[in-house]
Amino acid sequence: WKSMGKGSNFILICCANKKILEKTGLCSQITFGRYVRQGRKLGLDPKLFIQDLQFNKVPVRVYQPKATSDGPRRGILFFHGGGWVFGSLVFLVLNIWTCNKMYRLAPEHKYPAAYEDCLNATLHFLQHLQHYGVDPARVTVCGDSAGGNLAAAVSQTLAGSSDLPRLRAQILIYPGLQALDFNLPSYQQNRGVPLLFRERAAFFALLYLNGDALHMKEVLEGSHIPPDMRLKYRKWVSPDNIPEEFKVRGVKPLRPTDFIAEVYETVKRFCEPNLCPLLAEDSVVHQLPESFILTCEYDVLRDDGLLYKKRLEDNGVPVTWYHLKDGFHGIISLYDYCGFSFPSGKRGLDSVCWWDKQI
């Protein structure tokens, strides 16, 4: 953690404090998490025009440069991360950014509420590009963490659309893309690494799906997926598809667990691609736009990104992959936030900005 920067101690304190506050009854972990993850305030910038609007009743914040342009600009829709439970924004203003201020959050609003909000906001934007001076051939969807999940799901939904502008690209920043296997190498290796512990990954997925975290133990063990379905998806969700270089920190072979049908009945929508985009059929995946995927070594979601990268490449989709060898989950959001100093966060941010400007 020392090599990651001076902010790491503060991260550990916050992770501990939210549990203490809940045990003392002062507030829930979700309330505390929403407080500390509030979107940073963007100071006034004479070069930017900022509006809070609604796209199909979904709150969005639109950033536009005031400078005139020789022609239509690129447009990016950014979906914030936060485990579908917290709301925050990352500000990367490139020509025009349209950010979800706050899609409907779990556990108050269960799946598919967040997905539907992001899809509806995207549809509205695509239908009104001329109003914002955006080039229909240069629209990208982007998101970090849960936002990366939502960006991938929206991109898949629009992949076969013929009556709307085709998305130019998708940018997925350490996305969470599946809930079948919480024992992939990255989940084992980084189970106790902030900001996202292994148990928290399952906790957030269950909150988004059902509004509660019942059966988390069974989900972590893998008892929630029928054997035939696990076999079906093994071609896509398997440690065998993870490059050997990512297993050198150790991977323990796991004993088979008994399938529990009652648990599956409560979580069977985990097998829907709109919730777990890694499970989309090849007929959908091969239609996806050019993609950028950022992963971090010290992140339980690392292998979700690696597996999706392979799926895209196997289906002929151009992929640019950027891996932060000293990065951890959430590091992009923390860049230059409250005095934190994480050099790899700056490198990751620069890589996203550079790639977007090239397409």
Question: Alpha-carbon distance 345 to 336, whole Å?
Answer: 9
* 146-158 helix and 113-127 helix, angle to the nearest 10 degrees: 60
Residues with catalytic roles: 145, 299, 329
| Interstrand relation of 58-65 and 97-100 (parallel, antiparallel or unpaired) | antiparallel
Whether the upstream peptide bond of residue 214 has omega within 30° of 0, thus cis, is no
Question: Alpha-carbon distance 85 to 224, whole Å?
Answer: 22
Distances (CA, A) of 205 to 34, 172, 242: 17, 18, 22
| Interstrand relation of 290-298 and 134-144 (parallel, antiparallel or unpaired) | unpaired
Could you tell me which residues come within 8 angstroms of residue 265 by beta carbon, excluding any fewer than 6 positions away?
Answer: none
